[in-house]
Amino acid sequence: MTPERFAELLDRRGPALARWPAADRAAAEALLAGSPAARAALAEARALDAALRGALPRPDPAALARLQDRIARSIARAPLPAPSGLLARLRAALHPAAPAGWGALVAVATCALWLGLAGVPRAAVDPLGPLLTLPLAGESL
C-alpha cells in the first residue's frame, strides 16, 4: 500500500482501522509499521475525529428514552414474519379456498356430501297429499 492510497482510505473509511476491510487493514498496518508519515497521518485523522465528536451536541436523555420507548413499542406491535417452507406456501395457496376458515369449508363439504348421497325420490310426491286424508268438518272418520 502506498502512502497516497493510505491517505485516501483514511479519508474514506476513517481512523478506526478495525472497521476497514481485512485486506486493506492488513496492508495499512504493514505500512504503519514502517512509515512515520503514515503514523502522523493516522494521528492527525484521529485528532480530527475526536474534535468532531466532541463538538457534537449530546442528546437529551429524556428525549432519547422517549425515542427508544417508541421504537420498542412499534417493534412489539409489528407482525411476525411469515414462516417459510412448504407448509406455509401450501396454506397461503389454499387460503382463497377457505376465506371464512377451514371449519366453514368442512361444513359446506359435509352438506354437499349429504345432499349428494340422499338421492331424489323416484315418484313425484304431492306436498298436500297428507292433508287429503284428514277429515274435514262434518265428515266422519
How far apart CA 15 and CA 124 sit, in angstroms, is: 97
Residue 85: count of CB within 10 angstroms of its CB: 9
34 within a domain of the structure (yes/no):
yes
Total number of domains in the chain:
1
Per-residue pLDDT tens listing for the chain (141 residues): 899 999 999 999 999 999 999 999 999 999 999 999 999 999 999 999 999 988 888 889 999 999 999 999 999 999 888 778 888 888 888 788 777 777 888 888 899 998 888 876 666 677 777 777 766 666 665
75 within a domain of the structure (yes/no):
no
27 grid coordinates: 496492508
48 within a domain of the structure (yes/no):
yes
60 within a domain of the structure (yes/no):
no
The SS3 assignment for 9 reads helix
Look up the domain containing 19 and give its range.
3-55
CB-CB contact of 20 with 13 (8 Å): yes
114 within a domain of the structure (yes/no):
no
127 within a domain of the structure (yes/no):
no
Q: Which helix (DSSP H) or strand (DSSP E) does residue 136 occupy? A: none
Q: How far is CA 119 from CA 95, 106, 116, 130, in A?
A: 32, 21, 6, 22
CB-CB contact of 28 with 20 (8 Å): yes
How far apart CA 66 and CA 78 sit, in angstroms, is: 18
**Per-residue confidence (pLDDT) for residue 37, from 0 to 100:** 93
Amino acid in the structure at residue 41: A
